[in-house]
Amino acid sequence: MSSRQRALSTLIGIAVTLFFLWLALRDVAWAEVHAAFAAADYRLVAPAALLVAADYWFRSVRWRHIIPGRPISTHRLFPVLIIGFAANNLIPARVGELWRIWGLSRREQVDKSTGLATLVVERVFDGLTLVFLLVLFSLLVPLNDQANAIKYAFAALFGGTLAALVGLLLFGEPVERLVARLVRPVPLLWQERLLGIVRRFTGGLAALRSPRRLVAVVLFSLAAWLSEAVVYFLLMAAFGVTLPPAQMVGGAVLLLTLINLGILIPSAPGYLGTYEYFGKLALVSVLGVSEGPALGVVVLAHALQYAIVTALGLFFMVRLSLSWTPAPALQPLQPPRGSEPPGGHGP
């Protein structure tokens, strides 16, 4: 990405953030928000913080089952994954996704096309899990028009993507022949490279071929997202949100799904604005929670996740002597002195 494209992407992200912040914060009764923070039970923040960390650990375990070939220790994948998410908090244009591909390639010698495929599989299962949870919630509490529109749009998006990936697995050879025809006008060297990328990308979808891996991916997807749902449940209780038990559980799931589907919209680093708007949409517009406690839950949840992920990411950056800067250019990763060479399985 050129400097002009990066600047344009940053400006668009800032504009999106400001727009959604305006939607989330217009006509807010700040005295009510202040009172909600003053009355909150902060003893529930500690278990919520532990569950935030557990969420990303489950994601690392899931990633281990998605990556094809030799098994890689979760202890080695967790730093790469958490640094990637931390980069998304600090750098525009979701550079963290590039960083994860780069880090996996250099630290574990996994081809970058294969690494990209594993991230695509992750995102598809994330989206399908969230839509599944949203559908379950809608059986308990009727959704409003905005929430229903989000549900149907993302069900179509992630369902269609999954169908395309399965089609690529089932019809890999015809796809390769089609790509080969399309790239005939380019030089032979580039033809071979492009076909190699297609083959390696298809190989990265191995988790969809293995029933055992597929079950593990589904289960750890649920474990990760339900951990985050419990975070929202605890923070709703901390701010005194009182709903019938079924609606408290369903409300936490609704908050989880609408926020995480909403932050797919490109915005400034850290998902500022989109996070607050979709969180308020879930609590205020659908569940009828007062604005003060609702914004308290959303703001504290966002701050907690941002602080924990960013702090862990920076810790591992220092510990492993890494840098943000090589990721976009895919420069070589230099392991810290005294560490084992890439490809090992130690922590």
**Per-residue tens of pLDDT for the chain, all 347 residues:** 567 777 787 888 889 999 999 999 998 999 999 999 999 999 999 999 999 999 999 999 999 999 988 889 999 999 999 999 999 998 876 788 888 998 899 888 888 888 888 898 898 889 888 888 888 877 777 777 877 787 788 888 888 888 888 887 777 778 778 877 887 888 877 777 777 777 777 777 777 788 899 899 999 999 999 999 999 999 999 999 988 888 898 889 889 988 998 888 888 889 999 999 999 999 998 889 999 999 999 999 999 999 999 999 999 988 887 665 544 444 433 434 443 333 333 33
pLDDT in tens, 68-110: 888 899 999 999 999 999 999 988 767 888 889 988 998 888 8
Question: For position 323, what pLDDT does the model report?
Answer: 63
Question: For position 325, what pLDDT does the model report?
Answer: 56
Question: For position 327, what pLDDT does the model report?
Answer: 46
Question: For position 345, what pLDDT does the model report?
Answer: 36
Question: For the chain, which residues make up each domain, given as ranges?
Answer: 14-109+211-323
Polymer length of the chain: 347
Question: For position 341, what pLDDT does the model report?
Answer: 35
Question: For position 241, what pLDDT does the model report?
Answer: 94
Question: For position 289, what pLDDT does the model report?
Answer: 93
96 and 123 Cβ atoms separated by less than 8 Å? no
Within 13 Å, how many C-alpha atoms sit on residue 218's CB side? Answer: 9
What is the spatial distance between Cα 84 and Cα 42, in angstroms, rounded to a whole number? 29
236 and 254 Cβ atoms separated by less than 8 Å? no
Tokens of 245: 């038990």
Residue of 161, 296, 301, 149 lying closest to 232 (CA atoms): 301
Question: For position 331, what pLDDT does the model report?
Answer: 42
What is the spatial distance between Cα 133 and Cα 218, in angstroms, rounded to a whole number? 13
Task: Give me the sign of the Cα torsion angle 213, 252, 95, 57.
Answer: negative
